[in-house]
Chain A
Amino acid sequence: MFAIERIKIIKNYLTENKQLEVNILSKMLNVSEVTIRRDLEKLEKEGFITRTHGGAVLNSEDIISNENSSNDTTYEYVTDSNDIADIAIEMINDDDVIMLSNGIINLSIAKKLTDKKNLTVVTNDILIATELTNHQTVKVILLGGVMDYSTSAVFGTLTIDNLNLFFVNKLFIEVNGISNNLDVTVSSINMASLIQASIKNSNERIVLCSSEAFKKNSFYKIGKLAEITEKIITSSNIDDNLKTEIFNNNIQLFTSINAFENRI
């Protein structure tokens, strides 16, 4: 269960019951008491509660409910990318040479590469390269090119020339749009040509996108999903018809179901 869900539950619980005991909540939400205490600290900082010995009590009513749901969606988007990255990580082995195209899901993947040994990462995304400076066990190849400020990544013929020097065994392509007929699109012509070039220089391709990508089409087409990849990772709440269509196209559809609480 996500922290955000847990905090919502704790808030609702407190609004109903006015007070809570840490041990009861830890059992019901299946997390350690330490985790609950941490959540309570957070809520105390927000002025929602006052912590007591072994629990917490609700502050007076007027302070509550100014928490609106507007930041829920951005949070959902981030947890979504995070869950998709969790699946992608399972596809990366020690000694792999991978490419991460620019994007927020690929950035989440970069954050999780800590345990991998002898990994080489090729990327055009400056944020990904910066992130990877934190764990020096990974060899990073940052492609050169013309900087695009909206994505913090480099594109253009320079980048493609650079890219053609390498061959990767796994290419993680983050895309912006997938139509009902499974046409894959991205938001700029530069990104489209970079991805087309990288496809030629890869052994296996994995397409990544959020569920939002299925609701919109971007302008620049890369190709049919089935021609690009055998694997796609996205969130589990995409439309049933799309799931069926992807399966019938003989493509492995991984979804970011993250239901089982904690690990065993």
Chain B
Amino acid sequence: MFTNYFLYGGTGMNIPMLSLHNVNKYLTEDFSLQDINLDFYSGEVHSIIGENGSGKSSIIKIISGMFSIDYGEILLDKTRVLFKSISDARKLGIYCISHDTTLFPNLSIYENIFSDAIGNSNRLFSTINLEKLRRKCYELFNEFNINLNVDAPISTLNYPQQQLIELFKVYVSSAKVVILDEVSSSFTSIEKNILFSIISKLKSRGVAIIYITHIIDEIKMISDKLSIVSQGKIVYSKDISNITDEDIITLLSVSLHKNPYPKLNIKLGENVLLVDNLQFQNLLNNVSFKLKKSEILGITGLIDSGRSILGQCLFGNVNSYKGKISVNGITKKISSPSDAIELGIALLPDYPSLNSLFECFNLEKNITSASLKRFESRKYLHKDIMYEVTDSYIKKLNIKPGNQRDKISHYSSGNQQKTVLAKWMMSRAKIYILNEPTRGIDIASKIDVYNSINDLVRKGASIILISSDIDEILGMCDRTLVLAHGEIVSEFNRNDATKEKIISKAIHD
């Protein structure tokens, strides 16, 4: 019933909807995009993969109108186009969804989904039938089996839900080309199913979809074509039917070996954490491992391998688990975060701004929030000492701008991440579970995070580093566990681990 509201992309299958011809773009002294040729066809999903810094996001920025090109041409529907801004591209039907959401937090879900329609109504004083939009949204959610209140403000949703709303916003638009930039990285399998059904409906409507991911089984599942970007060039472009898993693994791992990770080889101590036969719903199964003093233990796997829920489990964030967790020889049921904190366990969750910062508080309150006991004396807090100690952490971890009164919600994700780290360090936690600590943050903050990890292990703390960035895992960890379907399928010591081995274990078992 909804298809009535949508425009159809009219192009035939053999003429590309969007093409890049010999596109060149100078970016920095050492990096530029060179002779990019890509064709995107109506009704097809074209996946693009590549290392961080390979140039894939620059290509996306060119297509979505954020970057201009130096040389070459872009054809949309056989017509040469020149985008001067994102809105130029959008007017011609090119939509992009990425990590950053562009929703209005105080408006309701349905108002957000139809915000483009509302904003673009032609006549100045045309009335907007909100009730009609609300009903449409309700029907839309029914169609996709989504259980969200259409009137709820966006600010009450978590990050994956907000990403879904972005998807629906595109779904109700008249998009011809849709770019999905790592949208699935925060999704559980439920949200992924919704994503895939949206994609298949968009396909049947004739939309060309550009899909950026690093999750290999997704590529096989949904794409029609695959292109690989490396060092600013397209090094590979093929129909998916001609590609095997092995091809993809080799293609991913032949790319330049990079190791700019500051790893110190600290002598490991006694076991500090023992996890025995951990089980949680059907998400974790028979998970057993040990963590030594001063060790950096890597945990990797695909998005639904259970890697994040394992962190949640150890921090007492899940309702109940089966199995045994002991810290320094003491076995205790960890049924809440405060149990975990008491045992010296800290969690740096993915998306800190949503999961572990007090958005409305300032920098000082966020950093000291786990250490108030330390500064308490006779029912009062010693503000001046708290101020000085906090200042010392801010300076040492280079948290910028770093004024204690700054509102934390204005900080960049790198500085937010360092703030959470400072909070736990100040509280003297001993075991740090870091879930994707460097995803989406700037390189300088990344280096600060790695060196803070070194500071911790040097002084006897232990780290569980959960990451989907295999270079990071190889670069920083003493030992790595590979998870798949909630089970540990493989364990590698630092010297034996390779990218190829880890990827193949993560996707095959």
Query: Which residues in A have some Cβ–Cβ distance to B below 8 Å?
Result: 1, 5, 8-9, 12-13, 16, 24-25, 27-30, 86-87, 90-91, 230-231, 236-237, 240-241, 243-244, 246-255, 257-264
Contact A253 B447, beta carbon cutoff 8 Å: yes
User: Which residue of A is nearest B447, CB measured?
Assistant: A243
Residues 151-168 of B, flagged 1 when their CB comes within 8 A of A and 0 if not, give: 000000000000000000
Q: Who on chain A is nearest to B431 by CB?
A: A264
Tell me which residues across on chain B come within 8 A of A236, comparing CB atoms. 396-398, 448, 451
- Contact with B444, one of A1, A29, A244, A262 (Cβ below 8 angstroms): A244
Which A residues are in CB contact (< 8 Å) with B386? 28
Interface string of B252-273 (1 = CB under 8 A from A): 0000001111111110000000
Select A255's contact among B261, B442, B451, B460, beta carbons within 8 Å: B451
Residues of B within 8 A of A1 (CB): 389, 392
Partner of A259, one of B53, B382, B393, B460: B393
Interface size class of B (residues with CB under 8 A): 35 or more
A249 contact set on B, CB distance < 8 A: 260
A252 with B452: in contact, given A5-B388, A24-B377, A264-B460 (CB under 8 Å)?
no
Contact B260 A29 (CB under 8 A): no
In the complex, how many residue pairs between chain A and chain B have their CB atoms under 8 Å apart?
122
Q: Are B260 and A253 in contact (CB under 8 A)?
A: yes
B384 to A257, Cβ gap below 8 A? Answer: no
* Chain B residues near A (Cβ < 8 Å): 30, 53, 258-266, 293, 374-375, 377, 382, 384-386, 388-389, 392-393, 395-398, 422, 425, 428, 430, 442-444, 446-448, 451-452, 454-456, 458-461
Tell me whether A259 and B452 are in contact in the complex, defined as CB-CB below 8 angstroms, given that A30-B428, A87-B264 are known contacts: yes
Query: Which of A8, A16, A241, A252: most chain B Cβ within 10 A?
Result: A252
**A257 & B264 in contact (Cβ 8 Å cutoff):** no
A8 to B388, CA, bound (A): 9
Smallest beta-carbon distance B25→chain A, Å: 18
Report which of A16, A258, A263 forms a contact with B384, defined as CB distance below 8 A: A16
A248 partner, pick from B261, B262, B443, B454, beta carbons under 8 A? B443
Which A residues are in CB contact (< 8 Å) with B422?
259
**Are B398 and A237 interface neighbours, CB within 8 A?**
yes
CB-based nearest B residue for A2: B392
A251 to B258, CA, bound (A): 9
Closest chain-A Cβ to B375's Cβ sits at a distance in Å of 6
Tell me if A's interface is mostly helix, strand, loop or mixed: mixed
Contact present for A29 and B461 (CB under 8 Å): no
- Give Cα distance in the complex from A8 to B382, angstroms: 15
Q: Are B459 and A262 closer than 8 Å at their CB atoms?
A: yes
A252 to chain B, nearest CB (A): 5
- B443 engages A244 (CB within 8 Å): yes
Enumerate chain A residues within 8 angstroms of B444, measured Cβ to Cβ. 240-241, 243-244
Asked whether B260 lies within 8 Å of A254 as measured between CB atoms, the reply is no
For A27, what are the chain B residues with a Cβ–Cβ distance below 8 Å? 374, 377
Contacts of A263 in B (CB 8 A): 459-460
Report how far A263 CA is from B389 CA in the complex, Å.
17
Find A90's partner among B393, B452, B458 (CB 8 Å cutoff).
B458
Interface residue from A28, A90, A261 paired with B382 (Cβ < 8 Å):
A28
- Beyond the given A13-B384, A259-B422, please list 12 additional residue pairs across the A-B interface where CB-CB is below 8 A: A1-B389, A9-B384, A24-B377, A25-B385, A28-B386, A28-B389, A29-B389, A90-B264, A231-B262, A250-B258, A255-B262, A257-B452
Which one of B384, B442, B448 contacts A12 once the chains associate, using CB atoms below 8 Å?
Answer: B384
Assembled-state Cα–Cα distance A1/B425 (Å): 12
B425 contacts A9, CB within 8 Å? no
Which chain A residues lie closer than 8 Å to B454 at the CB level? Answer: 87, 254, 257
* Closest beta carbon of chain A to B327's beta carbon, Å: 12
Nearest CB in chain A to that of B31: its residue: A248
Cα separation A249 to B258 with both chains bound (whole Å): 10
Complex-state Cα separation, A5 to B396, whole angstroms: 12
Known: A9-B388, A247-B260, A250-B258. A260 touches B443 (CB 8 A): no
Structural contact, A91 and B264, CB atoms closer than 8 A: yes
Most buried by A among B263, B375, B396, B454: B396
Q: Separation in Å of the A192 CB from the closest CB of chain B?
A: 25
Bound: A247/B262 CA distance, A: 10
Chain A residue at minimum C-beta to C-beta distance from B426 = A261
Task: Tell me which residues across on chain A come within 8 A of B265, comparing CB atoms.
Answer: 90-91
A252 touches B459 (CB 8 A): no
28 A-B pairs, CB-CB below 8 angstroms?
A: A1-B392, A5-B392, A9-B384, A9-B385, A9-B389, A16-B384, A24-B382, A28-B374, A28-B375, A28-B382, A29-B385, A86-B458, A87-B264, A91-B264, A236-B396, A240-B442, A243-B443, A243-B444, A247-B260, A248-B53, A253-B262, A254-B451, A254-B454, A255-B451, A257-B448, A257-B455, A259-B396, A260-B456
**In the complex, what's the smallest C-beta–C-beta distance from A107 to chain B, in angstroms?**
21
Q: Roughly how many angstroms separate A27 CA and B384 CA in the complex, as a whole number?
A: 14
Of B393, B447, B460, most A-chain CB atoms within 10 Å: B447
From the candidates B53, B262, B384, B385, name the one contacting A254 in the complex (CB within 8 A). B262
Q: Is the CB of A28 within 8 A of B385?
A: yes
Would you call B374 and A258 a contact (CB within 8 A)?
no
